[in-house]
A and B are shown apart, each in its own frame.
Chain A
Amino acid sequence: MLVFLPDSLDEAFAAFEQCPDAQLLAGGTDFMVEVNYAHRRPPAVVCLSKVEQLRGWRRDGTDVVLGAGITHSEIEAPPLCELLPGLAQAARTVGSPQIRNAGTLGGNIATASPAGDTLPVLSVLDATIVVASRHDRRSLRLDELIVDPKHTSLRPGEIIVEVRLPASFGAQEFLKVGTRNAMVIAVASTALVVDWEGRSVRCALGSVGPVVIRATEAEQFIASKINWPEGSLPDAGAISQFTRLVRAAARPIDDHRSTADYRRHAVGICAARALERVLSGEAGVKTEWAS
């Protein structure tokens, strides 16, 4: 196994040209497990940890542009947790402090796990994911990039470089169910955002299908029931129907972590609770946790 340690994206692209079968290494929290257990022995590894261009973030008008190498710890801390409360909430549920200090947003996307915690949030915020190769640069939506479990539409030599999201957009929540709070892979998760200006609700489900699922029928139904000028839900019974539609949208499986039945049950509860929290103004990362 060869190891490349590029200082810049250009050097990373050059390493790819030298070794087209090289594996990209971001935080290592998934890849190194496979190496340690001898499940993977790629001919070469291109480490992205020293590529400064991937590390930071910036404001661009009403957007936040995150470098793909930003860590979950950086997302869950101020000021990003204030600009991106739903993503911060998802980042906070990843692994442990050790994992969040190492794992990156770009790595979470590229790994393309059905249980990737940040992915439902990227879906509801209509994230634009920018990927670059030596000679090209293109922008993709999450559902264009992640096509199947563990499979992306990244072309040979392409690297995820940044993720563009709207700052302080609407009201956001992310909720996740697992067997404990720390070090847990989601059994079911939900990201929900209410766009007060556009009068729409977006709800994405994680860990209950091969890729993130948008519960579009549930979104449209509940948007039609919200009293938008007041920001209230006069018909309390609408939440039950919303929950049913969310459950109908899920396509879960039985596996070693849970059953399809439980996942369907849990994702409905997550979505209903996220909706209630968002409408009551209680959603998002609490500041005492964010420090």
Chain B
Amino acid sequence: MSESSILQRASLGAWLEAMGRAGQRVLAPVREADRVVFATPSAPDQIATGFVQTPASAKAVVFPPYDEMLRFRANGEDVHVEEPSIAAEPTVLFGVRPCDAASFATLRAVFTWDSPDAWFEARMASLTVISVSCTQCDEYCFCTSVGGGPGSTQGSDILLTPLDDRRWLAEVLTEKGQAAAALAPQLFAPANGEAANKEKVLAHVPVRFEAKEFAQWLPSLFDRTDVWKEQSLRCLGCGACAFVCPTCSCFDIQDERVRDQGTRLRCWDSCGFRLFTLHASGHNPRHVQSERWRQRVMHKFSYQPERLGVTGCVGCGRCSRACPVDMNLGEHVRMLSEMSV
């Protein structure tokens, strides 16, 4: 399926326009004040460059911070219930990193296993992921420790690699990718062996640990309370890490009502919050922060891989950049992995 070609960076405008004409909403990293966020660029030069990673992930495209699942209103003694249409706006997510592209597999595993979530499936079906390989990384990145890489094609429909400041190598990987390229086929030229140059431009992301090995014996560290306490001592118990994370998918279900009408919402939540496992009786299976920190690590690096066969972490580093007290997940996990020796 994978075919390589060359796309001139100057052609991006024409390609985006073709996508627009084909009814696609385009979301790309765009500078807004002092931040880079995912938004619809009004022109190709609005797409941000020269940054390692956006502060927030793009998961809101398929898993929004809050989502109306039902509406209801009292109807005499009865209740009238309405559901939202299961449809999604065709969207091209342009300019995400390979780690972000890989994260959709994790979200998909959660939302489609056992009982498929029809909205999620509709959103994924309508989403085309066009990623850009990483030519730079920072001290927070660790994709290469969790089965990913700065030029990994996992999860992308098209992967673009900047060979120089004029040209991208375009790897068209899926049918959706082919459809996207076919919107403006004249923009793509044969690769002529340039694919061999891909490796040369990629960032070097040092491997800090080996996730698959680590997943095997991480559960044996469960009872090392001393370690979990020490690592989490500075953790403040906020939800910043979970909310900027592309693979965190835990949610709350909340009803909001005004008089006799209301809505049932799904809202982002975090296992780091005290309330997450709190019973109405007051009993809390994870009543101290060290236990909640342990759950975060265990879930991402052991439970989720074992149960759903997907990594719980793509090594994007956002949690560590966002954390108010510099809880560096890659660093903590490396420390844990070194305890095996």
Is A bound to B? no
